[in-house]
Amino acid sequence: MSLITHWIHGKRVEPSGERTQPVFNPATGEETARLGLGTAADVDRAVASAAEAFEAWSQYPLGKRAAVLFRFRELLAAHTDELARLVSREHGKVVSDAAGEVGRGLEVVEFACGLPHLLKGEYSEQAATGVDVFSFREPLGVVAGITPFNFPVMVPLWMSPMAIATGNTFVLKPSERDPSASLFLADLWQKAGLPDGVFNVVQGDKEVVDAILHHDDIAAVSFVGSTPIAKYIHATASAQGKRVQALGGAKNHGVVLADADLDDAVNHLTAAAFGAAGERCMAISVAVVEDSVADALVEKLAAKARAVKVTSGDQPGADMGPVITAAAKERIEGLIGSAERDGAELVVDGRGHTVPGYEGGFFVGPTVIDRVAPAHEVYREEVFGPVIDVVRVSGLAEAIDVINANPYGNGTAVFTSSGESARTFQREVKVGMIGVNVPIPVPVAWHSFGGWKDSLFGESHIYGPEGIKFYTRGKVVTQRWPHREQRADASFHFSGDSQK
């Protein structure tokens, strides 16, 4: 059985320790490879390689950096199908969905190709007598990314192209559940002409994470994952003096008002709740529905849920694949059971779902739970599975109150035909990303991605303009070139003539 390794200084490197763990195909439940788990010594090797490469890479002309990014973009586009099938085998999501993931990551690469323009500074001539002032931004050094299992391509591409284009070198710690995509990306970076050491991969678990957080030569850490780990990453790395962007979990609400196009809303809610088996931080996991249309919506939503084709992600016509692990399946089914115990109504129950020919797979069927209350466990927890709760409300004001009372603030959406209601909603909800008749409002690459409240720790959102600022720091130069014959004595006063 193959061993999945690190990528350090332009080549695959076996871990220094002996610990390994299995990698599964979630559709079959079969072990497909062993992952070599890294150690602090492996992190040291990767950081040393990145630190050495930084000296030259940070001095590369911007045009040459952009040329590498352009070549990487072309290679990524050319290998999308191959990469999508690899993701489907290890994650379980449908191949077309995995290809869409690659495409969204590709957008960030394309944005990063424009960094020569975006890194231009500012210039103020004659700020004082004979004095000019200008500013520019420089890279930080070695930076690291710790990424989740649900987007093994897209999330690393939210981080690494931005970091690399701005002149940093990068160490990636991918999820141990679907690690192979990280090596595929490393190979593409090398083929694009990226110098050895600029992009490195260290596989592993908490031991590698802690080594990254405490490493003196890592200047910044980017993280996407669950809220408890995001809190830990932010607190630990910040205490070490590092910059941190840490994106946590979510409980995303889709509000359906009585004036909405109900069929359109149900179509979008179905895709947003059950796509990728609900394993998205932007999945709609709660439908907040106005009472007068709730019965009709639940009936339509239940019919759509029952029609979802659940099978292995590589099968023709598949809508939804398995969840990532047997433990995830058990947890999700436990939360579905808790809703029943709490008094909610199981309209469509996805527990015990089996797929002919894939009886060993980690499948949970689409699940619709009506009459859920905020006190119910299935509402309080981030289920991260193909489950949608229906919460009934009297109108827009109560829907906003429900959302604002939730500790998460990642994404939300409203379905309505009223511009007034949409404007009220987008101004009053305490959520970072909002969709109006758009169920999964992930910003395009030239904006930035990030939530509020317990969905984000640290000030910086990811990619886009905030990504540029996160991976760089500013310098301001104040300069004067006096004529020799016009030199004057320096002022002893802060507001002296030299600043007038």
Burial 166-181 (b: 16+ CB within 10 A, else e): bbbbbbbbbbbbbbbb
CATH 3.40.309.10 fits 252-436, yes or no: yes
Per the CB < 8 A criterion, the answer to whether 364 and 377 are in contact is no
Where along the chain do the CATH 3.40.309.10 domains lie? Answer: 252-436
Where along the chain do the CATH 3.40.605.10 domains lie? Answer: 3-248+455-476
Per the listing, tokens 């990306």 go with 185
> For residue 224, with 0-12 CB atoms within 10 Å meaning exposed, 13-18 middle and 19 or more buried, which class applies?
buried
pLDDT at residue 482, rounded to an integer: 87
Per the listing, tokens 């909002």 go with 434
- Whole-model pTM: value is 0.95
Per the CB < 8 A criterion, the answer to whether 250 and 284 are in contact is no
CA distance 228 to 233: 9
CA distance 104 to 106: 5
pLDDT at residue 483, rounded to an integer: 82
Longest dimension (CA), the chain: 91
Q: Which of 33, 155, 281, 403 is catalytic?
A: 281
Per the listing, tokens 């990551």 go with 105
Displacement of CA 470 from its chain's centroid (Å): 15
DSSP 52-83: HHHHHHTTS-HHHHHHHHHHHHHHHHHTHHHH
Which residues make Cβ contacts (< 8 Å) with residue 327, sequence separation at least 6? Answer: none
CA atoms within 13 A on the CB side of 421: 22
CA torsion 197-202-206-212 (nearest 10°) is 0
pLDDT at residue 1, rounded to an integer: 80
Please give the chain's pLDDT, 500 residues, in tens: 899 999 999 999 999 999 999 999 999 999 999 999 999 999 999 999 999 999 999 999 999 999 999 999 999 999 999 999 999 999 999 999 999 999 999 999 999 999 888 899 999 999 999 999 999 999 999 999 999 999 999 999 999 999 999 999 999 999 999 999 999 999 999 999 999 999 999 999 999 999 999 999 999 999 999 999 999 999 999 999 999 999 999 999 999 999 999 999 999 999 999 999 999 999 999 999 999 999 999 999 999 999 999 999 999 999 999 999 999 999 999 999 999 999 999 999 999 999 999 999 999 999 999 999 999 999 999 999 999 999 999 999 999 999 999 999 999 999 999 999 999 999 999 999 999 999 999 999 999 999 999 999 998 999 999 999 999 999 999 999 988 776 667 777 766 544 54
Per the CB < 8 A criterion, the answer to whether 455 and 249 are in contact is yes
- Number of neighbouring beta carbons within 10 Å of residue 477: 11
- Matching CATH number, 3-248+455-476, of 3.40.605.10, 3.40.50.720, 3.40.50.1370, 3.40.1160.10: 3.40.605.10
- Number of neighbouring beta carbons within 10 Å of residue 230: 24
DSSP 309-366: -BS-TTSTT--B---S-HHHHHHHHHHHHHHHHHT-EEEE--TT---TT-TTS-----
Phi, psi of 394 (to 5 degrees): -80, -20
pLDDT at residue 498, rounded to an integer: 47
- Number of neighbouring beta carbons within 10 Å of residue 475: 11
Which tokens in the block code for residue 315?
């099968």
- Report the run of H or E that residue 20 belongs to, with start and end: strand 20-25
Q: Is 113 a catalytic residue?
A: no
- Which residue from 267, 361, 309 is spatially nearest to 96, judged by alpha carbons? 309
pLDDT at residue 487, rounded to an integer: 66
